Amino acid sequence: MEKIALFPGSFDPITKGHESIVKRAIPLFDEIVVAIGENSEKKGFFTIEQRLQWIKQVFANYPTIKVQTYKGLTVDYCKKIKAKYILRGLRTAADFEFERSIGQMNKQIYNEIETIFLLTTPEFSALNSSIVRDIIRHGGNVKQFIPDAIDILNIKQ
Ligand code: ADP
């Protein structure tokens, strides 16, 4: 059976940290679905369309990586796309505590799911989308934090 993993997130915007986790996971799975979870209560900084377009650009040359959006429970989406694995990145102890409860709850709702964690490489452990958004908001340069495939000059809200 094909090993399909879902890498869910907000990707608002995608950073080099996300890119690194997905690329390192390529050898582990037959297919990785990078999916933006659409949350009706949380309006993003960048539009879903913009975020989707960037993620597609980043993984355009990787045939086993698919890019999607989804609404609703992550485990329901896993069932829909036949993913038995949820991929997540771990930066800090705070990430671990947060992820532990989500991972355990997901397992409780859908016993066939396994959450697979990859540790962030040290150079990306301080990197997160919310700081990148702050820098953009204040007119700073985020080039070093976002994937090379994204055209920095086109970054605007
Ligand atoms: P969420 O809203 O689900 O936290 P994010 O887009 O912030 O979505 O993150 C999606 C996944 O990517 C999470 O597993 C998160 O831990 C991981 N991640 C975010 N930033 C990094 C980073 N710099 N290095 C490694 N993993 C990261």
Cβ-based neighbours of 118, under 8 Å, separated by 6 or more: 21, 24, 25, 87, 88, 89, 90
Closest residue to atom 14 of ligand 1, CA basis: 88
pLDDT band at 151 (very low <50, low <70, confident <90, very high): confident
**Ligand 1 atom closest to 126 (CA):** 23
Q: Where are the alpha helices (DSSP H) in 26-123?
A: 48-58, 74-81, 93-109
Cβ-based neighbours of 96, under 8 Å, separated by 6 or more: 90
**Ligand 1 atom closest to 9 (CA):** 8
Number of domains the chain contains: 1
- Looking up residue 46, the CATH number of its domain turns out to be 3.40.50.620
- Report whether residue 54 contacts ligand 1, using a CB cutoff of 6 Å: no
**Using one digit for the tens of pLDDT, what is the confidence trace for 56-94?**
999 999 999 999 999 999 999 999 999 999 999 999 999
Give which of 128, 140, 44, 47 is closest to 90, Cα–Cα: 128
Give which of 7, 8, 43 is closest to 25, Cα–Cα: 7
Predicted TM-score (pTM) of this structure: 0.94
**Catalytic site residue 129?**
yes
**Ligand 1 atom closest to 127 (CA):** 23
**Using one digit for the tens of pLDDT, what is the confidence trace for 21-61?**
999 999 999 999 999 999 877 789 999 999 999 999 999 99
pLDDT over 60 (residue 157): no
Residue-range definition of the domain harbouring residue 35: 4-154
Centre of ligand 1 from the C-alpha of residue 24, in Å:
14
pLDDT over 50 (residue 115): yes
Q: What's the rounded mean pLDDT across residues 85-112?
A: 97
- Report whether residue 115 contacts ligand 1, using a CB cutoff of 6 Å: no
